[in-house]
Amino acid sequence: MKLETRVSSFQFPVSNFKFQKRGCFIQEHIAYISIGSNIGDKLLNCQNGIAALTTSGKSVLHAQSQFYKTEPVDYKDQDWFINAVVKIGTSSDPFQLLNELKSIEGEAGRTKTIRFGPRILDLDILLYDDVVIDNISGLSVPHARMHQRRFVLRPMCDIAPELVHPVLKKDMQYLLNHLDDNEQKIIQFK
């Protein structure tokens, strides 16, 4: 099992802790989540996904990107997506967070279809603190293809352009600027 982190277990800044009503502190982890939909009322699906994520009591919204209309990647024979990225603080570990995201997708009506196919709601962990997880129990953090996806990098740059990818050691703006210009059309959604 390969799990590495660059955060020392004994050096937690006060800002990483959140006071709970019961009078105790819990550690708050920072995660970036991509949101997408290309079925039905896509914008509403994304908004509902964000609301479900932040009303669970385990996560709070710190920042949200603009919404973007994006051309599908890999499987092209489908409607365009609406995509965004949110920055959350969460008390969940990465595996708990993944389960929470899958539960929200299921409640929204997502069913298994073809890989990269249409979906009513898609929620993916992009980054979780500085943690690196190499495909353990179906989870890879950072997301394995985030640095190749304009629909991820453009909204990431709305909220964290200087954030450094923990493996590639390049910031989000650099990664976006160095994507192939022919790769995926993206339009700010109004």
* Active site members: 110, 119, 122, 124
DSSP per-residue letters across 99-144 = HHHHHHHHHHT----STT---S-EEEEEEETT-EEEEETTEEES-T
> What amino acid occupies position 10?
F
Q: Which residues, in sequence order, are CB contacts of 99 under 8 Å at separation 6+?
A: none
Distance between CA atoms of residues 51 and 85, nearest Å? 13
Burial class (CB in 10 A: 0-12, 13-18, 19+), 47: middle
* Tokens describing residue 60: 């709070």
Is residue 89 a contact partner of residue 30, using CB atoms and an 8 Å limit? yes
